[in-house]
């Protein structure tokens, strides 16, 4: 992520480029993701590593649930929906991988555009995501 978007000391996201917000919001709409599921997906993307993996323990899950007014059972149930919608996959207990087709770590200052193309045919649905960089 670009310098202007990251806190140099903590590495945390200070500001998200506007087109990233639009892309994630549209992605969640197209995938039929609920508000809670979108929050969970964004939480996972925020903490994923360079391999698109995210893991969290009981305390992190509880903190998320407290902040979003939901239960652990609801959180676990909604994880299943994110998996069914193809946004994430389970790779271990409390460990997930974000689908690289939809989200990856890049230097956002160099991104020119994100192109999302969906083709529907008798063979099914094919999606192609292209991130154009400088």
Secondary structure in 3-state letters for 33-50: CCHHHHHHHHHHHHHCCC
b (16+ CB within 10 A) / e for 36-65: bbbbbbbbbbeebeeebbbebeeeebeebb
Topology of 3-133 in CATH? Arc Repressor Mutant, subunit A (1.10.10)
Q: How many CA atoms lie within 13 A of 132 on its CB side?
A: 6
User: What pTM did the predictor assign?
Assistant: 0.69
pLDDT in single tens digits along all 134 residues of the chain: 344 555 666 655 555 555 566 678 888 888 999 999 999 998 898 888 888 899 988 999 999 999 999 999 999 999 999 999 999 999 999 999 999 888 877 666 666 677 778 888 888 888 787 777 66
Show Cβ contacts of residue 126 under 8 Å, excluding neighbours closer than 6 positions: 118, 119
Q: In whole angstroms, what is the distance from residue 107 CA to residue 53 CA?
A: 18
């Amino acid at each position: 992520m670009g310098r202007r978007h990251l806190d140099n000391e903590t590495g945390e996201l200070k500001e998200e480029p506007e087109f990233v917000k639009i892309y994630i919001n549209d992605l969640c709409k197209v995938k039929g993701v609920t508000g809670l599921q979108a929050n969970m997906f964004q939480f996972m993307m925020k903490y994923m590593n360079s391999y698109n993996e995210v893991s969290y323990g009981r305390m992190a899950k509880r903190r998320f649930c407290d902040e979003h007014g939901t239960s652990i059972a609801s959180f676990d149930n909604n994880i299943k929906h994110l998996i069914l919608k193809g946004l994430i996959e389970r790779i271990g207990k409390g460990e997930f991988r974000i689908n690289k087709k939809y989200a990856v770590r890049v230097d956002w200052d160099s991104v020119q555009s994100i192109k999302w193309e969906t083709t529907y045919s008798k063979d099914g649905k094919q999606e192609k995501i292209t991130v154009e960089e400088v």
